[in-house]
Structure 1
Amino acid sequence: MSGEAEVTAFGLQQTGRLTGLEKGLPGPGYDGPDLSSVARANWNLLRGDLPLPVCTLGQKALEHNSKRMLRFLQAFAPNIVLCPHGKTTMSPQLFQRQLADGCWGISLATFHQVRAARRRGFERIFYANELVGPQEIAFVLQELGRDPAFDFYCLVDSIDGVERLRRSAEEISPRRPLQVLVEGGFPGGRCGVRTVEAALDVARAAHASSPHLWLVGLEGYEGVLQTKPKDERQTAVPSFLDALVEMIQACDSEGLFNACDQIMLSAGGSSFYDLVADVPRHLELSKRLQVVVRSGCYLTHDSGLYARLFEDLKQRSDMARMSDLSFEPALEIWCHVLSTPELDRIVLGAGQRDFGHDAGPPVILKTAQEGVCSRLLDAGAY
């Protein structure tokens, strides 16, 4: 494949057997045995070599986005690291690219994701969730005992949750502690303690569970606030970050992080990472602070929701305006025009099974006819 429709194997190091039934692969006549054969096939999407709909990733856009994000965060302070959320792509090859570019680790959200990442050998995992089920807890603890290189972090937001982990760690005995962070939340939000007092109660329980558990920091997720009106989220996000700072300072003042060499603060989805990166300038603790930003959508970006949120970021961030921070949409879904039954109606051969729609329908960016691709000057709105 060539031009704007180019597809590569993204430096695949692993090979996987293909059945010929995978979505987007040619039908009869294609007998490529594994993923590595895709790079050698020289398919051209505009020539009609692939059945549509098919999803493609632009390699140049991926390279651009990955490096720009890391440079932007490192410009704030040297103790800010990027641990991108792997659920965005669930692609081990893209995980490898992010780590090679300088990411600190990979964030994940479900047990299945953790198991898949471990199967591919990823060593540092930030589990942005709480371990609850006995199978999930046992798997992580057994991996800690089996592999000394496995560096795992998870969240707690209740004394019961701390006790559940402590009992399992005492029973399975992985011979080293499970690293936990207290999760802070906000009213109407998702998980997490709502007050400083509740944070202290959970942190004290985790601290008392040493050597089975190690309390290493505090975590929060401000990304759900992006659903609020713009004027509301401009005050809600800084207020939430202030609450996290107050929680971590209270825990530090009681010496509850004495098991670790540094204190970790993790937040930063793909909407407000600039505000999270600014926290170290206003926070003094008894130990070195490490800020772990978990943005994942920067890698593929998009022309809808995150394009709008990025414009908001540039308006509020002097650093973003002065730097070379920019992102290019890397993800495209190509489909046929099935029908034009009316002058103002076009029916496309793709739907909800082909792309997510929780953030709105996709934006039409390009058209192609007889092998020639044209970019629309006005992509319009949702």
Structure 2
Amino acid sequence: MATTLTDLHPPITMATTLTDLHPDIIHTHILPRLDGPSLSATATASSSLKSLCSDDTLWFPISQSTFPSTTHPHVNSVISTFPSGHRSFFLDSFPTITTDLTHRNPRRSWSHTKYDHPSCNLHPSSHSSPSQLISTVDICYQNDVIFSKPMFTDITSHFLSSGFLTELSEDNPTRTRLDPTRIQNDPTRIRPGAGTGSDPFRIARPIDLTVDEIAGADAATLRHLKESVKLNWIIIDPTRKRACNLSSIKAVSARQDWVTNESIIRYATVLPGCDPDEIVRCRIQVVLGVGEKGVGLYVKEVVMKVQDMDGVCVNGVEFLKIVEGVMMEVNGVRRKVGDDEERLRCCRVFKELKREKKEWEKMKEEKKEMVIWLNYVAIFVSFCFCVYFLLLLLKNCKT
């Protein structure tokens, strides 16, 4: 019988799974090569891998490379107090926020003001309300960071009672800032004080694109910017040791402002309001200015505001309540990775409900006007009858 090569050299059995490797090899040579989502998925494979993947030294570089603004010492120290350090922060911040609108009826909140609901009037207690909120803003163009800035907002009585609006502006005095008339209801502005030169933790780089110096970006460039410019706006609560990403990450629209020659990119996330049936929209607007001779686009301003269906900015108390619900994933809030269709569907529903509410308010006003008109008619008719009977009475008295 002929002897085969297999008979002379039996097949060698090799390790085919991660669990067959020594933990030090996995921890030193394999896990550091994974990105955040892959590392999180690997942790669910087994209890031993979960223990290895929980090491904060793995998540520290992932968090700082994904969100460069977290390199600020104060931000980093706050994140280190989270239950699982940078792992907890990444799992809180990397997914986008979606709101389940299936069992929600916003129309029920139209008949009363939002202040009728007790949770909207409840002043945050001293033990649960943070003394400061941290915002980390990171904007990337095709995976290259073009803007990064942490911001610290003290929770004061003025913050709690004023309309909430956060604005990061280009500090170069030679460049024109956003026209203040664009901001409705005169909400409070919160501006960082340091520029790139005085703040080593701020990144500001131009986008390597050339546009018309007068006309600005054309339709093709706007579509490209909408797909290529990603934004993360993370709110960190040092008291609760939680975080949430209020940005849709991917833009929902991009347009050109022909008056100021600026490209405006918008991001939107629909969130539950104070009233269980109310929904609000967190809209972030990135304004891109044009460089000299149309060479390069730079981040001129980033504005975030949370508005109800009437376009009114929520105040500080309402914002804290909304953010608390988002962080704790209550009232239909879920964290999902890459669910663009659900995010866009929520935005469409919000726009449709906003249109319906305007029509409802218009009909309500028309009914009020009709009632007032009928009251005037009734008063006039009553007056005529009174005059008629008075004349009859005078006539009878004379006779």
Q: Is this a same-fold pair by TM over 0.5?
A: no
Structure whose alpha-carbon radius of gyration is higher: 2
The structure richer in strand per residue is 2
